[in-house]
A and B are shown apart, each in its own frame.
Chain A
Amino acid sequence: MAYAYLFKYIIIGDTGVGKSCLLLQFTDKRFQPVHDLTIGVEFGARMITIDGKQIKLQIWDTAGQESFRSITRSYYRGAAGALLVYDITRRDTFNHLTTWLEDARQHSNSNMVIMLIGNKSDLESRREVKKEEGEAFAREHGLIFMETSAKTASNVEEAFINTAKEIYEKIQEGVFDINNEANGIKIGPQHAATNSSLAGGQGGQQAGGGCC
C-alpha cells in the first residue's frame, strides 16, 4: 500500500515485560496470554494516519535478555522511534531502564524519539512501580511516557501513534533529514520522485512538504 513516510521503530526492554504482546496488540488487535519467546528480532508493520498522511510503521521487536544486548545494539541503527518498555509489576525491569537508555542513546541517532512505557497496567494489584515514578523518570530523561496494557489494549494505540506524531513534528520542524535513511525515515515510493526533484531544486529541507 502507498505511504507518505515509513518510520522504523524498535521495541526494547527487559525480557518478559510484554514487548511482543504490545506489538501484537498494535498490529493484530489481539492479546496472546502466552507469547512465544523472542530470539533475536521479530517484525511487525502497520499503517497509521497522521495529519491526513499515510505513515507505515515498521517495528523491530527485540529479544530482552541481557545476553542478547550485543545483538540488539546493532538494530538501533536507523530507528526513528524507540519504545522502551518496563513491567509495572516487576521493579527490576524499571531499575534496568538506565542501562537500556544508555544503550539506546549510544547506538542510535541522536534524534530518535523514545517513548517510555510502563506495561501491564491491568495488573494494578501487583503493581511495584508507581505511575509517578515512571513519569519522573521520563521527565528527567526527556522521554514521552505512558502506562499501557497489552492485555486490555489500553493506551497501546496511543503509545505507537504518539511516538509517530512526535517524529512527524520533528520532520516538519526540519530536525530530521528525511533523505538520510540512517534516521529511520523513508519517503514513500510515489513521493520519492517529487521529493528528489524538489530537493534538487530547493535543497533537502523542503522535501518534507512534497507529500500530498
Chain B
Amino acid sequence: TLNVQTAELSLLVFPYTAHTAKKLFCFIPPLLSLSLSLSLSLSLKEHETRVGPTTGPHPRLQPTRRKNLEFEPLSTTGLILEDRPASLPAKSEEEAQRHRQEYNEMVAEAKRRELKDAQRKKRQMKERLKQEENIARAMLIWNTEVLPNWESMRNTRRVRELWWQGLPPSVRGRVWSLAIGNELNITPELYDIFLSRAKEKWRSFNETNSLSENEDCGTSLADRESSLDLIKLDIFRTFPSLYIFQRGGPYHDLLHSVLGAYTCYRPDVGYVQGMSFIAAVLILNLEEADAFIAFANLLNKPCQMAFFRVDHDLMLKYFAAFEVFFEENLPKLFQHFQTNSLTPDFYLIDWIFTLYSKSLPLDVACRVWDLFCRDGEEALFRTGLGILRLYQDVLLQMDFIHSAQFLSRLPENTPAHTLFSCINNTHMISSNRRWNQVFSALMKDGPKEADKVGSPALRS
C-alpha cells in the first residue's frame, strides 16, 4: 500500500493532468484502483481549487521537498512521502530514500508509457495512411487496367493477388457483378416486370387480408406465410443494428422490392429466410436493378440453390466435403467437435445461408464475399475453416452448447487481417484432391460416404 500512497501523493504534489495520473495507476493492482480513483479525484479537486485547472503535462521531475511546494497538501496521506510533522518521529533516511526512489520510478514509468503511447498512435496513423494509399492505388489499377480488360485479366496472378487484399469499396459492386455474371440474362426491364407483378400481388394481398379478417378464412391466411407477406416480417429483422432496412429507413423499400421481385421471378424457390441478408449486402453495394441481377444469379449457383431449396441430400454432401478438409486442416478441433457431437449443420447452415453476413462484422463479411466472387463456393468453406482455425484455441476449451453459441455469433472485433491469414493457412487439398474433386467424388458415391462423415443431426 505504500506505493499507492506515494502515487496519491505525487498527484497531489505535482500538477499532472488527470490523464497522466490515470496512467500512473496502471501498475496498481485492480482491487485498489477503485478506492484510489476516488481519492485521486478528491486530491485533484483539492489541487485544482488551489492552483487552478491544469492545462497540460508539465511535470516537475526533481524530487521536491515540502518547502518547495506551491501549496500545502491537505490530505493526511499526502504527508507520507514528505517529512513527517514535527510532532511525529521523523522518517529514517533509509525510508525517505526508498520513498524518493519509488516515486522516481513511477514518474519514469509514466513517462515511458506516454512515449510508448505516442509512438503507437503515430504508428497507427502511419498504418492508416498507408492503407488509404493502398486503397487509392488499388482503385486506380481496378479502374484503369482490370475493369476495362475484365475477361483477359480476371484470372491473372496479379489481379488475383490484388483481389485477395480486398476490393476497394468504390469498385466492389462492379467487380461482384462481373464475377457473379449474368448467365440468366436478366435485364433491368425484366426486373421492372417482376417488380410490378410483385406490387400487384401485394395490393391484392392487402385486399384479401382485410376480407379474411372478417371471414376468418384459414386457407388464404395459410398461404400468406409462404408468400410475400413473410418478406415484410423479415425486412426489419435484417441488419437491425444498421437502421437502414427498417420501416422508414432509406433502403427498406428497396430490399422489399428486390425480394418481392425475386419471388415472382422464381416462384419455385420463393422467399427463403437468409435471402434478405444477401439482398441487403448487394443493395449496399449496387444499384437496384444490378442488385437484383446479381442476387438472382448468385442464388442460381449450385451451392446456393442446394441450400435455399433446403435440399437435404445435397446439403449433406457439402457438409461431408467440408468435414474432409476440416479433418485435414484442423485434426485436433475436428476430433473435439466429434466428441461433442458438434456437426457442421449447427454453424454452416447460418454461415452459408447468409454468406457470413449475419455472423461476421459486415466489413469482414464483404471481404469474404470478395473471396467468394474470386474463388466460388470453395471460398465459403475455406472461410469457415479459417474461422475455426482463428478460434481453435477458444473452441477447444468449450463444450457443445458454448461452441455452437460462439460460432453463431462470432466476436464483433474479429479482425479481417488475422482471419484472412487463417484462411490463407487453410489448404483446400486433401490427398491431392481439390474441393471440386472431393465434392464430385461424394456425389458419385451416393449417400454412403456422406453418411460416414455427415451430420447425424440431418440424417433423419
Which residues in chain B, 389-417, are within 8 Å of chain A measured between CB atoms? 401, 404-405, 408
Q: Which residues of A contact B102 (CB under 8 A)?
A: none
Q: Which residues of A contact B345 (CB under 8 A)?
A: 40, 71
Q: Contact mask B225-239 → A, CB, 8 Å, 1/0?
A: 110001001101110
Q: Is the CB of A92 within 8 A of B401?
A: no
Q: Please tell me if A96 contacts chain B, counting CB pairs below 8 Å.
A: yes
Which residues in chain B, 421-460, are within 8 Å of chain A measured between CB atoms? 457-460
Q: Which residues of B contact A70 (CB under 8 A)?
A: 310, 312
Q: Contact mask B209-228 → A, CB, 8 Å, 1/0?
A: 00000001010011011100
22 inter-chain pairs at a CB distance below 8 angstroms, sorted by A residue, are A14-B225, A16-B233, A34-B240, A37-B234, A37-B358, A39-B274, A40-B345, A40-B349, A40-B353, A43-B405, A44-B405, A45-B401, A65-B272, A65-B273, A67-B270, A67-B272, A70-B310, A74-B458, A91-B216, A92-B222, A92-B224, A96-B222
Q: Which residues of A contact B329 (CB under 8 A)?
A: none
Interface Cβ pair total, 8 Å cutoff = 89
Q: Is the CB of B273 within 8 A of A107?
A: no
Show the binding face of A for B, using Cβ within 8 Å. 14-16, 34-37, 39-45, 58, 63, 65-68, 70-71, 73-75, 77, 91-92, 95-96, 107
Q: Is the CB of B221 within 8 A of A95?
A: yes
Q: Please tell me if B354 contacts chain A, counting CB pairs below 8 Å.
A: yes
Show the binding face of B for A, using Cβ within 8 Å. 216, 218, 221-222, 224-226, 230, 233-234, 236-238, 240, 246, 270, 272-274, 276-277, 310, 312, 345-346, 349-350, 353-354, 358, 401, 404-405, 408, 457-460
Using A34-B237, A71-B345, A96-B222 as known contacts, say yes or no to A15 and B230 having CB atoms under 8 A apart.
Answer: yes
The residue of chain A having its C-beta at the shortest distance from the C-beta of B221 within the complex is: A92
The residue of chain A having its C-beta at the shortest distance from the C-beta of B343 within the complex is: A74
Q: Is the CB of A77 within 8 A of B233?
A: no
Q: Is the CB of A95 within 8 A of B349?
A: no
* Chain B, interface SS category: helix
Residue in contact with A67 in the complex, picked from B218, B273, B350, CB distance below 8 Å = B273
In angstroms, Cα B246 to Cα A74, docked, is 33
Q: Which residues of A contact B222 (CB under 8 A)?
A: 92, 95-96
The residue of chain A having its C-beta at the shortest distance from the C-beta of B233 within the complex is: A16
Q: Which residues of A contact B408 (CB under 8 A)?
A: 42-43
Q: Is the CB of A39 within 8 A of B350?
A: yes
4 residue pairs, one from A and one from B, having the closest CB atoms: A40-B349, A34-B240, A92-B221, A74-B460
Q: Which residues of B contact A14 (CB under 8 A)?
A: 225
Q: Which residues of A contact B405 (CB under 8 A)?
A: 42-44
Q: Which residues of B contact A96 (CB under 8 A)?
A: 222, 225
Residue in contact with B358 in the complex, picked from A36, A63, A68, A107, CB distance below 8 Å = A36
* Most-contacted residue by chain A among B234, B277, B460 (CB, 10 A): B460
